Structure 1
Amino acid sequence: MKKTAIILGATGLTGAILLQKLIEDDRYESIKLFSRSKIEGLPDKVIQFIGDLLKLDQFKADFTADEVYCCIGTTSKKTPDKKRYKEIDYGIPVAAAQLSKENNIPTFLVVSALGANKNSTVFYNKTKGEMEQDVLKKQVKNTFILRPSLIGGDRKERRILEKIGLVVFKIIQPLFIVKLNQYKIINAESIAQAMLNLANNNNSEEVIITSNEIKRIAKNN
C-alpha cells in the first residue's frame, strides 16, 4: 500500500532535496507541502497548501499522512527578531507534532541541530533544545530528531558567514580526532536520505540522531 508524506520546509536546502527524493520514490503516491508560497513545476503527486505556518492548526483537516518531515529553520539574518525566530524554529515543529498526534500520523521526523540544549545560554541552542523537548512530549509513535552539524550544499540564498564557516571547516577537517568527528560538515543530501531511510525502516530505534549517525543511516540505502 502506497504512502502519503507531508513536508514542512520544502523550499529550504534539505527540504528541497527530500522533496525530489519522495517524488522519485514509488512507495509514495502523494506528497503534501505546507508552505507560505507555491513551488512551480511540480508533478501531480505533489499537493500544495499555501498559508501561514505560524497558524498551522488551520490546516488540520488536510494534515493527514503516513509521515511528517519537518525541515523548518530560519537564520538570525533572515529573522533578527528573537520572538519571531522562536515562533518559527520552535513553534512550527511543535505545532506539527501536535497535529501529527491528533491526526494519528505514526511517524514524525524533524531536523534540529548539533548543540541543541534546553538549558543552554545560547539562544539558538536553547530554542532547538526546547523544541526537541516539546516535540517528544507529543508522543508521536515514531519520532526521530536529527542533529546535524554545519550543513553543506548549494543554497538558493547567499549566506556569506555560513559559506566562510564551510570553507574553514573543510580546511580543518583533516585535523579532527575521532571524538570531534560529529562536528564535520554534513551534506544536506545525507540528511534527506537518512530521514527517508528512518521513515521506511521498521527496525529504527534511534530517537535523537547525531551527525555521525545521520551519515551512517544515509548510507544504508
Structure 2
Amino acid sequence: MKALVIGATGATGKDLVNQLLNDKEFDEVDIFVRKPVDIQDEKLKVHIVNFEKPEEWKDMVNGDVAFSCLGTTLKDAGSKEAQKKVDFYYQFEFAKAAKDNDVEDYILVSAYGANPKSKIFYSKMKGELEEAVKQLHFNKITIFKPGMLERTNSERTGEVLGSRIIKFANKLGLLESQKPLPTNILAKAMIKSSKIKSNGYSSIKLGNIFCFAEKTNE
C-alpha cells in the first residue's frame, strides 16, 4: 500500500511515519511538509510544499490511504485566524486533493469534544473540519477523537502540566476515562484502522487506552 501523510513533523506524525516505514504492508510513504526533514528511508518520499498553493501539489496526493494529523496551537499560530488556516484550511485542501485523486481511505485526527456548534473556538473548528471532510464522500473515513495526548519531549507547558495532574489522579483511581493517550499508541491505532475494511461506527482499544474512531460511508 501507499500511504500519504500530512502533519508528519508533529509528535503523532513522527510516530506514524516511523511505524509506517516499519510496516511491511506499506511499500511507499509520501509525506507533505513545509521544509526538509531529517528522515531517510528507501520507502519514504518527501514532498516539500507550500500549503498556501494547493494547485502546485494537489496532483501528488495520490495513493491508497491518506493520514491527516496536522495541527498547531493558538500560541504557536499567533492568532485564531492563523490557527484555523493550519487546522482547517490546509487539512481540507489536502483531503479535497485526496478525494479528487480517488484515494479511497481517509484517516483524520480530530479532537475529543469536536462539534461544529460548539461555542469553544477549537472544538468548533475541529467539528467544522470533520463535517467538511465527511461531505467529500470518501469510500471510507475514519475520524479519531483523542483527548489529551502524551507527546515525547513535549514543549507544550500546559499540556505537560495537565498530563501530570491527570496521571496523578489516575493513580488515585480518578479520571480514568481521561487518561493521556501516548502518540505512538494513537499512530498504531491509525495504521490498524487503515487495514480494517468494514464500515459503520467502531472503536479501537489498545492496551488500557481507549480511542474513539468514527467511520462513515456516505
Same fold per superposition (TM over 0.5)? yes
- Listed as ranges, the gaps of 5+ residues in structure 1 are 217-221
Q: Provide, for residues 25-64 of structure 1, a one-character-per-residue CA deviation record: whole Å limited to 9, x for no partner.
A: 1111111010101112411211111022233332122110
Answer yes or no: is the 8 Å Cα contact 1:146–1:208 preserved in 2.
no
> SS at the partner of 2:36?
coil
Answer yes or no: is the 8 Å Cα contact 1:113–1:147 preserved in 2.
yes
Alignment counterpart, residue 97 of structure 1, candidates 75, 95, 98? 95
Give how far 1:215 is off.
7.7
More helix by share: 1
> SS at the partner of 2:27?
strand
- 1:219 maps to none
Alignment CA distance shift 1:139-1:175 (3 Å): farther
- Listed as ranges, the gaps of 5+ residues in structure 2 are 214-218
Q: Output the CA distance in 1 between the equivalents of 2:53 and 2:101.
A: 16
Aligned 1:21-60 pairs, distance under 5 A: 21-60=19-58
Deviates further, 182-191 or 112-121: 182-191
Q: Provide, for residues 58-84 of structure 1, a one-character-per-residue CA deviation record: whole Å limited to 9, x for no partner.
A: 212211000000010100110121111
> SS at the partner of 1:78?
helix
- 1:9 maps to 7
How many residues are treated as equivalent by the alignment? 211
TM-score, scaled to structure 2: 0.89
Give how far 1:202 is off.
1.4
Alignment counterpart, residue 155 of structure 2, candidates 158, 180, 191? 158
Aligned 1:151-190 pairs, distance under 5 A: 151-155=149-153, 158-174=155-171, 181-190=176-185
- The percentage of counterpart residues that share the same residue type is 27
Q: Output the CA distance in 2 between the equivalents of 1:26 and 1:107.
A: 18
- 2:198 maps to 203
Give how far 1:208 is off.
8.3
- 1:74 maps to 72
Deviates further, 188-197 or 205-214: 205-214
Deviates further, 35-44 or 54-63: 54-63
- 2:187 maps to 192
Q: Output the CA distance in 1 between the equivalents of 2:32 and 2:7.
A: 8
Q: What is the root-mean-square deviation of aligned Cα atoms in Å?
A: 2.3
Give how far 1:182 is off.
3.8
Answer yes or no: is the 8 Å Cα contact 1:145–1:209 preserved in 2.
no
Aligned 1:82-161 pairs, distance under 5 A: 82-155=80-153, 158-161=155-158
Q: Output the CA distance in 2 between the equivalents of 1:35 and 1:208.
A: 30
Q: Output the CA distance in 2 between the equivalents of 1:204 and 1:36.
A: 34
- 2:216 maps to none
